[in-house]
A and B are shown apart, each in its own frame.
Chain A
Amino acid sequence: SQTIHQWPATLVQPVGSPLSLECTVEGTSNPNLYWYRQAAGRGLQLLFYSVGIGQISSEVPQNLSASRPQDRQFILSSKKLLLSDSGFYLCAWTGAGTEAFFGQGTRLTVV
């Protein structure tokens, strides 16, 4: 069966520090991969999606970037974190014509 791993679960980082959140999927090939940010009362906002290795689409301009170095690996990064980057980040995957499956999420607090 397919599983999705996302880590770390919580992270506290100072302003201006770099960020790297990792997500891996097991049990499927060539998944579509997504990074969402969830804010209280605002639902889930799609940040990036990828349909293949090295293919990244950005939905909103921001201080973050994403990369897909391997088929089942999706990384969310920042060179210098801002206070406004605090939030709950979710990784998800879909297959062809399926619903999205979500990771456990990362609570990022920028201080």
Chain B
Amino acid sequence: AQSVSQHNHHVILSEAASLELGCNYSYGGTVNLFWYVQYPGQHLQLLLKYFSGDPLVKGIKGFEAEFIKSKFSFNLRKPSVQWSDTAEYFCAVNAGGGADGLTFGKGTHLIIQP
């Protein structure tokens, strides 16, 4: 079974700082990779996804992530964060596009200080 590890559970940054949230997964086959975000009081929404092709994927709100197959990683990045990026971020993997759901990491609580 696949598993997902997010390295940082709590991250505090100042506005305009650069962000990188780590995500590693364990699965030897083809994977679909996702980053979801949950803003305070709101439902989970998709930031970006990787299915195939260019390993550098761009999502909404200036976020991007890079799939490095050799490292089993899918780190999330943003060059300059804003106060509105304060949220919980979840990395998720679906093995081979199967119907048995996504496996999520434990989440990273990001706080941006103005």
Stretch from B13-21, B44-52, B68-76, B79-87 contacting the other chain: B44-52
Mark out the residues of chain B between 10 and 37 whose CB falls within 8 Å of any chain A CB in the assembled complex: 32, 34, 36
A41 to chain B, nearest CB (A): 6
Query: Are the C-beta atoms of A99 and B104 separated by less than 8 Å?
Result: no
Contact with B9, one of A41, A90, A94, A102 (Cβ below 8 angstroms): A41
Query: Are the C-beta atoms of B104 and A44 separated by less than 8 Å?
Result: yes
Query: Are the C-beta atoms of B100 and A57 separated by less than 8 Å?
Result: yes
In chain A, what residue has the closest Cβ to B102? A100
Complex CA–CA separation, A44 to B103 (angstroms): 8
Flag B74-114 by CB within 8 Å of A: 1 or 0 each: 00000000000000001010000101111111110000000
Count class of interface residues, chain B: 20 to 34
Cβ–Cβ < 8 Å partners of A43 in chain B? 4, 6, 90, 104-107
Contact with A51, one of B44, B97, B99 (Cβ below 8 angstroms): B99
Contact with B43, one of A34, A94, A105 (Cβ below 8 angstroms): A105
Complex CA–CA separation, A27 to B9 (angstroms): 36
Mark out the residues of chain A between 61 and 111 whose CB falls within 8 Å of any chain B CB in the assembled complex: 90, 92, 94, 97, 99-105
In chain A, what residue has the closest Cβ to B49? A99
Complex CA–CA separation, A51 to B99 (angstroms): 7
Contacts beyond the supplied A43-B6, A45-B104: 5 A-B pairs with Cβ under 8 Å:
A41-B9, A42-B106, A49-B100, A51-B99, A90-B43
